[in-house]
Amino acid sequence: MPEWVRWILAALSCYRLAQLVTLDDGPGDVFAWLREKAGAYQYGNDGRPFTSIGRLMACPFCIGIWAALPCAMMALQHNAASDVILAIFGIAGAQAALQGKRE
C-alpha cells in the first residue's frame, strides 16, 4: 500500500475512533457504559462534565489526540494486520464523514 494512502487511512481511522468513543453507544452499549462510568453525563455548575475523565470521554477532539497514537503506529508499520485494521477503520471514517453532521 502506498505511504500516502496509509496516512489518509490513519487520519480517517482516528476520526472514526474518536466518534466511536464519544458519540456512539458501541456494540453492547460498551461505549455508552464507559462514558457513564467516567462521568461524561454528570455536569458541574459550568455545564461541563464534572470529572476530568468525563470531559475527556465527551470530547471527540480530546479523544482524537489519544486515538492518533495507535493510528500513527499502524501507519508506520508495514504489515498485513496493520493494513487491514487501517482499511476497516479508514473506510468507516470516510463513511461517517460523508454521512454528514452528527447530532
Mean pLDDT of each 10-residue bin along the chain, 103 residues long: 94 95 93 94 90 93 95 95 96 90 58
Residue 101 is predicted with a pLDDT of 62
Residue 100 is predicted with a pLDDT of 75
Q: What is the pTM of this model?
A: 0.86
In Å, what is the CA distance from 5 to each residue of 26, 58, 84, 87? 27, 30, 13, 10
Question: Distance between CA 60 and CA 103 in Å, rounded?
Answer: 13
